[in-house]
Structure 1
Amino acid sequence: MPSPELELEIKQLIISALSLEDIQPDDIDADEALFGAGLGLDSIDALELGVALQKKYRVGMSADSDETRRHFSSVRSLAAFVENGMAAASQA
Structure 2
Amino acid sequence: MESMFIEIKEMIIDSLNLEDISVDEIETDAPLFSEGLGLDSIDALELGLAVKNRYGVVLSAESEEVRQHFFSVATLAAFINTQRAVSA
TM range, smaller chain: over 0.9
| Residue number in structure 2 paired with 1:86 | 84
Secondary structure class of the residue paired with 1:68 = helix
Cα displacement (A) at 1:69? 0.5
Secondary structure class of the residue paired with 2:83 = helix
Matches within 5 A, 1:6-85: 6-85=4-83
- Residue identity in the other structure for 1:43: S
Q: TM-score, normalised by structure 2?
A: 0.98
Mind listing any 5+ residue stretches in structure 2 that lack a counterpart? none
Identity of aligned residues (%): 51
Measured against aligned partners, the alpha-carbon deviations of 1:39-80 in whole angstroms (never above 9, x if no partner) come to: 000000000000000000001210111100000000000000
- Residue identity in the other structure for 1:38: G
Structure possessing the higher relative contact order (Cα contacts under 8 Å, 6 or more residues apart): 1
Question: What CA RMSD, in Å, does the superposition of the two structures yield over aligned residues?
Answer: 0.5
- After superposing on structure 2, the runs of 4+ consecutive aligned residues of structure 1 that deviate more than 4 Å are none
